[in-house]
Structure 1
Amino acid sequence: MSDRPDFLVIMTDQHRWDWLGCNGHSVLRTPHIDSLAQGGTSFGQYFVASPVCMPNRASFMTGRYPSVHGLRYNGCHLPLTANTFVDVLRAAGYQTASVGKSHLQPMIDKTVAPKGKTGSIAEAWKTDFTAYGHEQPSRYSGTENYDLPLPYYGFDHIDMVTRHGTEASGHYRQWLRRNYPNAAENPLRQLPHNYTCPQALRTDIPEDAYPTAYIRDSAVRHLQANADNEDPLFTFVSFPDPHHPFNPPGRYWDMYNPDQFALGPRFADHVAPPPPLMALYEDFVAGRAPDARTFAFMAREQHLREAMALTAGMIAMIDDAVGAILSALEESGRRDRTVVIFTSDHGDYLGDSDLLLKGPWMRDSINRVPLIWNDPDLSQLVARNDALASTVDIAPSILARAGLLPYAGMQGRSFLAELQGDRSLARASLLIEYNDANMRFGYSAPARIRSLVTDDWALRVPGGESWGELYDRRRDPDQVKNLWDAPDHAETRRKCTAQLLDHLIAQMDESPRARHPA
C-alpha cells in the first residue's frame, strides 16, 4: 500500500461558519462534524474566494481565483482544458472519486453556444461549447445512469447530484425513478404544515430517498468497495444542503423549533445602510418578491426563525450522514491513514440584517465558512487556527500533504505549517471576488465587487459605484457601522485600498510559464 495519505473531503452547500456546534452555535447539535474538530484543527478565519457556488467550487478545484480560472459567475463553465489538483493526485497514482454535487458546469438546460451573426466571433476564447452540458437535467432524463466522459476534472468515478432538495437531479434522480417513481415525478408535492416562510416545503419523500441519504449511501459503498485498494484514495463527498429550499425530510423537519433561535444583527442596527441593503429593504416594504428563487430577500422575523429551524434540520441530517461515512471509513481499516477535511462552498445571510439566501452584498455570513482539517499523521495539530485562509489554499495544502508540487499558476498557498502552530508565513490579508450576472439591488450594472479581509479590517469596493464599505472587524464584529466616509479612518481606508490593489495586480495568469532558452 502507498505511503501517501488518503483524503476524504466533505463539502456542504450554503453553510455559514457559525452554524456548527464546534464553532459555537448555541442550539444546533453537530456531534459527528464536531468530532472532526476535536481530533483536528478548526479554522476561525477561513473565507471563500467568491461567495457563489460555481466560481468558488472552481477555485477549490484549481487553487485559482475566478478572474483567472474563468468560471466567474454561475452559468459559466470551468474550461475542460483547466487542470485541477485532483488531476495532479490522479497523475500521482490516486484513485479519485466524486460523490454528490460538482457544479463546475451549469445545471439547467439551455443553449450554451454563444449567439451571434453567421460568421461572427462572439467570444474572446476559442471554446468547443458542444463538449459541455454534462450536469444539465436532460442528460439524466431516463432511468439508466448517464455515463459522463472520464476523467471528469480529474475524477475517475462520478456519482452526480445536481440542483437542490426535492428537485435534485443527476444520477440521484435516475436512481429515484427506479426506486421511488412517484417521488421522482412529483418533486414539489408536500405534506401539510404551518410554516409560512418562502421556500419552506415539507416533502413526503422518505428520509432514505432524500439526496443527503443517497450521497451518504453512495459514499459508504465507495469506501467499502475500495477498502483493500493498494492505491491511495481521494474521495470528494459533496452535499447540496443546507441550500434552500428549506425542506428537511421526515424527523428532521421538526427537530428544531423556530422559537429556539436568536436573531443576529438586524437591518435597524445599521448606522447608514449601504445601497444594496436599502434596495432590499425598499422591496420588502413594498411587498415586492425577488425576481428569482435564488435571489436574496428581506423577511419578517418569524420567517427568519423558520428558515433557521429548517436549516438546522438539514444540517442535522448532514451531520448524521457524516457519522455514517466516518463509521464506514473506520470499518474499512483506512481511517488511520485518511486526512478528513470538512468545508462549505459559501454561506447564507440566514437572518443577518433581516436577509435570507445570498447576493451581491458582501458579509461575513456569506464569505466565511467552516474548514476543519483532521489529520491522524500530522503531529501537534493546533485545535484552532485563526490565521486567515482562503478557498484557493486548500488545493496546495492537499498537494503538499501528499508530497506533490502544485502546477504553475496556482495562486493559493499551503497552510500546513499553521496547522502545527507556525504562523510566520501566515496571510496578512486575503482577496474575495464577486461577479454578478444580473443588475439588481440598486447597482448601476451587474455587480463587480472586490473585498479585502485582514485580521482587523474588512474593505469592500464595488466597481463603478460612488460608495464603498470599511468595517472594524474587532470593535464592530456585526459590521453595522460603515467607516468608509469617516474622516478619522481615511488613512485606514487608504492602507486597505493599497493592499487590495496589490491583490488585484497579482490577478494575472502565470500559466503557461515562459520557456527560456538554456
Structure 2
Amino acid sequence: MSPDDNASMESPMPQSQRPVNFLLFITDQHRADHLGAYGNRVVATPNLDALAAAGWRGDEMHVATPICMPNRASLLTGRYPSAHGARHNGIPLDLQSSTFVDVLRQAGYRTSLVGKAHFQNMTDNPPPWPPNPADRLAREAKVRGPGRYDQENRNKWLTREDYDLDYPFYGFEDVDLVDDHSDSVHGHYRQWLRRHHPEVEALIGPKAATPAPDYVLTSFGQAWRTAVPEELYPSAYIADRTIERLERAGGQPFFIQCSFPDPHHPFTPPGKYWDMYDPDEMELPPSFHTGAAPLPHVEWLYRQRDSGKAVKHTPAIFACTEREAKEALALNYGSITNIDHQIGRVLAALKRLGLDKDTVVIFTSDHGDYLGDHQLMLKGPIHYRGLVRVPFIWHDPALPARGAGSALASTIDVAPTILARAGVAGFNGIQGKSLLDVMAGKAERVREHLMIEEEGQRVILGFDARIRCRTLRSDRYRLTIYDGAEWGELYDLERDPIEARNLWDDAEYADVKADMMQALARDMLYHIDTSPYPDALA
C-alpha cells in the first residue's frame, strides 16, 4: 500500500455521527510527561486531566520531527518534512500545499486559528533561497509557489498597524496571530495591546521585568519575571479570542485551533505562576545522573559546559547544571498550569454555550524539551523520549473513545483522523493514518514501526556539517542513525526506559540492530512522496 492509499481508502464517518465542531488545543515545546494525566505528580493540570479522563489518551504519540516549524507543517498536511518540504525552521510551508484545514473549509467548516502559527519564518530572516533569479544557486534552489512568505515577519508586525495575513492562510479563514515566545510575542496581539493597553506593552521583555536574582536562568536570558499582568499575558488573550469565536459560532460547523506559544523558553510565566513551583523542591530526571558513558555529541556538550564555553542564551541545545534544570522545571510547570487554567476557561465557555455535546476537543503539542534529561536543556537532534513524545488527548462526545492506548502514533496522523471523523475525504499525498479504530478499541495499532525525521539548520554538537538523522521506533526499541557518522544509537526501552545504555555495538543486540536498520530503510522508502500520481498509478 502506498502512502496515498490511506487517504483514498479511508471510510468517511456516517453523516449521522458527524460532529459539528472541532477544537484543537496545541502548546509549544511541551513534553507528554508534564501533565498529571501522564503520571506527573507535581504539575497541576486539572482541566486537561479531566479532559483525558473523559476521553482517550495516546501514550505513544510522537512527533514527525522535533522542531517547531516543520512539525507544525506536518500536523497541517499529514506529511513528513521530507515530503512537504519545510524540513527545518526557516523554510516556509509552500502556500500551495494541501492542508486538512483547507479541506474542512471547502467542506463548509468555519476555520479559525488563535495564537501561534509558525508556518512561515516568524523572525526577520527572509526565506532561505537566493533572491537573484540570475544566480545559478537560485535557479537550482527549490523556491516555493506564488504568494507572500513574509506574513509572520516579526518586524513588520511590530512596526505596521495595518499589517495582516492573506486569507485563507493555509486554510484558516481568520486568524488572531500570536507568534514567537515568552511575553515578547508579536502579531495581532501586539497590535491589540498597543491600541488598548499601551502602558502594558512597555512592560514586555527582560528590561522591564521584575527582579528575580535567585534564578540563574535570568542571567543569560532564558527566563525573566514578566511585569505583564496575568489577565493581559498572551495566554489569556488567546483564551479570550477563542471564547469570542465560540460565542460567534452560530450554526456553522467550526474548526478552531487554539495555539499557545508557552511553555516554550524563555520562561516567563506571569504573576502567581512564576513562583507557584519552588526550584528547590523539583526532582531531577532519573537520567540526569546515570553513570553511563555519554554519546559523542552529548559528551561534546558536557565538555563545552565544563570548560565554561557553553552557549546558553540561544534557542539551541546546551548541557545544563542541576540548578538550571530545577529552575527550568519549576518555571515550565508554572507556564503549563497557566495554560491549563486558560483551557479551563475555554472549555467552560464551550459548555455554557451548549457546544460541548457537538464538539471534538483535541490536545497536543509540537514537540518536547529535555528539561534536564541526560543533563540537557531545550531541544536538538538527540531523540530522547522527553523530546519526541508529546501528549495527545481526544475527547469525543459521540464516540466510545475512552481510556488510553499504546499504539505508535505520529503528528502526521492528526490530519487524517480529523478528516475521517468529520466524514470528509482526504487529499492525495497524506502519509498519516487515522487513529479512529485504535481509539474505539477496534484495532491495537496503526503501524509496526514509527519514523522520526530531523534536519538541522546549523553545524553543532561537534559535527562538521548540518546534522541529518533518522529515528525508528518499535514497541520495544529505538534506533537512530546520523548522516556521516559511523556510530548510532540503539536502546531496549523495555529494559532501559531512560535510554541510558546505548546498545549500538553490543553483540547481543546485533540481530535487533540489523532488523531495525532494515525496517528503517523500508520505512524511508515507503514514505518517499508519490504525489501527484493517483493511487492506481503509484
Scaled by the length of structure 1, the TM-score of the pair is 0.96
Cα offset for 1:144? 3.6
Task: Name the CA distance, whole Å, in 2 between partners of 1:277 and 1:142.
Answer: 41
Q: Does 1:275 align with 2:296?
A: yes
Is contact 2:301-2:310 (8 Å) kept? no
In structure 2, the partner of 1:290 is 311
The alignment status of 1:104 with 2:122, answered yes or no, reads no
1:187 to 198, 202, 205: 205
User: In the alignment, what sits opposite 1:307?
Assistant: 328
Q: How does 1:90-239 map to 2 (within 5 A)?
A: 90-112=105-127, 114-115=129-130, 119-121=134-136, 122=138, 123-127=140-144, 131-142=148-159, 144=161, 146-185=163-202, 186-188=204-206, 189-193=208-212, 194-197=214-217, 198=220, 199-226=222-249, 229-239=250-260
Match of 1:260 in 2: 281
1:458-488 superposed Cα distances (whole Å, 9 cap, x missing partner)? 0001111111000001110000000000011
**Which stretch of structure 1 is more off in the superposition, 174-183 or 312-321?**
174-183
Q: Residue in 2 aligned with 1:362?
A: 383
Contact 1:444 1:465 in 2 (8 A): no
Which whole-Å deviations, capped at 9, do the CAs of 1:79-101 have from their partners, x for residues lacking one?
A: 00101000110111000000000
Report the counterpart of residue 73 of structure 2 in structure 1. 58
Q: 1:145 to 1:211 in 2, by over 3 A?
A: farther
Change (3 A) 1:196 1:113: closer
Q: Deviations over 1:119-168 (max 9, x none)?
A: 22414434357621100113312474533111000000110011011211
Q: CA deviation at 1:208?
A: 1.2
Change in Cα spacing, 1:200 to 1:173, as seen in structure 2 (3 Å) is same
Distance 1:42 1:516, change over 3 A: closer
TM-superposition CA deviations, 1:441-464 (whole Å, max 9, x none): 112211101000111000001111
Shift of 1:365: 0.6
Contact 1:145 1:171 in 2 (8 A): no
- Equivalents in 2 of 1:465, 1:37: separation in Å? 41
8 Å CA contact 1:21, 1:31 repeated in 2: yes
From 20, 24, 49, the equivalent of 1:9 is 24
Residue 516 of structure 1 deviates from its aligned partner by 8.3
Pairwise CA distance, 1:514: 4.6
Distance 1:143 1:119, change over 3 A: closer
Q: Which of the residues 500, 511, 517 maps onto 2:531?
A: 511
> Tell me, which stretches of 5 or more residues in structure 1 are unaligned?
none
State whether residues 113 and 129 of structure 1, in contact with CA within 8 Å, keep that contact through their aligned partners in structure 2: no
Report the Cα distance in structure 2 between the residues aligned to 1:407 and 1:213, rounded to whole angstroms. 35
Change (3 A) 1:425 1:370: closer
Q: Secondary structure at the match of 1:240?
A: strand
| Residues matched between the structures, number | 514
2:432 is the alignment partner of 1:412: yes
TM-aligned CA deviation for residue 384 of structure 1: 0.6
Mapped partners of 1:291, 1:363: distance in 2: 20
Give yes or no for contact 1:165–1:210 (8 Å, CA) kept in 2. no
* Partner residue in 2 for 1:435: 455
Change (3 A) 1:515 1:307: closer
Partner of 2:340: 319
**Residue number in structure 1 paired with 2:40:** 25
- Equivalent-residue separation in structure 1 for 2:414 and 2:241 (angstroms): 24
Give distance in 2, aligned partners of 1:506 and 1:270.
39
Query: In the aligned structure 1, how far is the partner of 2:133 from the partner of 2:73?
Result: 32
Q: Return the alpha-carbon distance in structure 2 between the equivalents of residues 29 and 132 of structure 1.
A: 39
User: Could you tell me whether the CA contact under 8 Å between 1:298 and 1:356 is conserved in 2?
Assistant: yes
Establish whether residue 344 from structure 1 lines up as the match of residue 365 from structure 2. yes
- Percent identical across equivalent pairs? 44
- Residue 383 of structure 1 and its aligned partner are, at CA, apart by 0.5
Q: 1:418–1:426: 8 Å Cα contact kept in structure 2?
A: yes
Asked if the contact 1:5/1:337 (under 8 Å) is kept, the reply is yes
Equivalent residue number for residue 85 of structure 2 = 70
Query: By how many angstroms is 1:513 displaced?
Result: 1.9
The answer to which of 186-195 and 271-280 deviates more is 186-195
What secondary structure sits across from 1:239 in the alignment?
strand
Contact 2:100 2:415 in 1 (8 A): yes
1:137–1:464: structure 2 CA closer, same or farther, 3 Å change rule?
Answer: same
Is contact 1:42–1:384 with CA below 8 Å preserved after alignment? yes
Change in CA separation of 1:100 and 1:259 when aligned onto 2, cut-off 3 Å: same
SS in 2 for 1:450: strand
Per mean C-alpha deviation after superposition, the further-off stretch among 174-183 and 34-43 is: 174-183
The amino acid across from 2:205 in the alignment is P
Specify every segment of 5 or more residues in structure 2 that has no aligned partner in the other structure, as ranges.
1-14
Equivalent residue number for residue 461 of structure 1: 481
CA contact (8 A) 1:112 1:129 kept: no
1:109–1:138 contact (8 Å) kept in structure 2: yes
User: CA, structure 1 residues 130+484, in 2 after alignment: closer, same or farther (shift >3 Å)?
Assistant: same
- Say if 2:442 is the partner of 1:422: yes
Quote the Cα distance in structure 2 between the aligned partners of 1:318 and 1:481.
35
The farther-off stretch of 96-105 and 353-362 is: 353-362
Contact preservation (8 Å) 2:178, 2:185: yes
Does the 8 A contact of 2:407 with 2:445 survive in 1? no
Tell me the SS of whatever aligns to 2:183.
Answer: helix
TM-score by length of 2: 0.92
1:370-417 CA distance string (max 9 Å, x none) = 0000000002x2301111100000100000000112111100000100
> Is the contact between residue 143 and residue 175 of structure 1 (CA under 8 Å) also seen in structure 2?
no
Q: 1:113 to 1:201 in 2, by over 3 A?
A: closer
For residue 512 of structure 1, report the CA deviation from its aligned partner: 1.1
1:241 alignment partner, SS class: strand
Q: Moved runs in structure 1, 4+ residues, more than 3 A?
A: 1-4, 126-130, 142-145, 265-268, 514-517
